[in-house]
């Protein structure tokens, strides 16, 4: 259990889950193909980034659900709330993009899909 939490935490920090030192991204939106320290491949298949996109979608949707709860349980005006939540969802999805892809890479590492060659 501690290993799982450690790998997921390292992934959220954009750090290689295998060597715990290499950076997973070389720029804001570009993931390294291989870890610059240990050389493992972060996403082996062409479609493996879709898992990260799914994580990002669920996390961003939780922002919208929180907003819906605010609208339902409080007396906040709806249209300003919708505008703020729309902006917040867009900013959150862009900010969380790298973390979602890294988290998916960490899950792939935990399941053995990413391994040291």
Return the number of the residue (37 or 59) whose C-beta is nearest Zn ion. 37
The nearer residue to Zn ion, 12 or 59, going by C-beta atoms, is: 12
- Asked if 100 touches Zn ion (CB under 5 A), the answer is no
**Interface with Zn ion includes 24 (CB under 5 A)?**
no
Could you say whether residue 93 binds Zn ion (CB under 5 A)? no
Instruction: Give ∠ CA 45-95-26 in degrees, rounded to 5.
Output: 55
Cα–Cα distance for residue pair 103/106, rounded to 1 Å: 5
Task: Assess contact for 37 and 16: CB atoms under 8 A.
Answer: yes
From the list 1, 2, 42, the residue with the least C-alpha distance to 19 is 42
- Using CB under 5 A as the binding rule, whether residue 17 contacts Zn ion is answered as no
37 touches Zn ion by CB under 5 A: yes
Asked if 110 touches Zn ion (CB under 5 A), the answer is no
59 binding Zn ion? (CB under 5 A): no
Instruction: Give me the phi and psi of 15, to 5 degrees please.
Output: -110, 140
Q: Does 106 bind Zn ion (CB under 5 A)?
A: no
What's the gap between Cα 37 and its chain centre?
A: 21
- Residues at the contact surface with Zn ion, assessed by CB under 5 A: 16, 18-19, 22, 35, 37-38
């Amino acid at each position: 259990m501690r290993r799982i939490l450690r790998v997921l935490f390292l992934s959220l920090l954009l750090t290689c889950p295998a060597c715990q030192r290499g950076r997973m991204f070389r720029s804001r939106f570009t993931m390294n193909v291989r870890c610059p320290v240990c050389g493992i491949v972060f996403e082996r298949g062409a479609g493996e980034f879709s898992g990260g996109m799914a994580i990002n979608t669920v996390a961003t949707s939780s922002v919208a659900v929180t907003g819906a709860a605010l609208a339902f349980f409080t007396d906040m005006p709806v249209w300003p709330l919708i505008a703020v939540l729309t902006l917040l969802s867009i900013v959150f999805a862009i900010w969380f993009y790298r973390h979602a892809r890294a988290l998916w890479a960490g899950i792939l590492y935990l399941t053995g899909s990413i391994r040291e060659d």
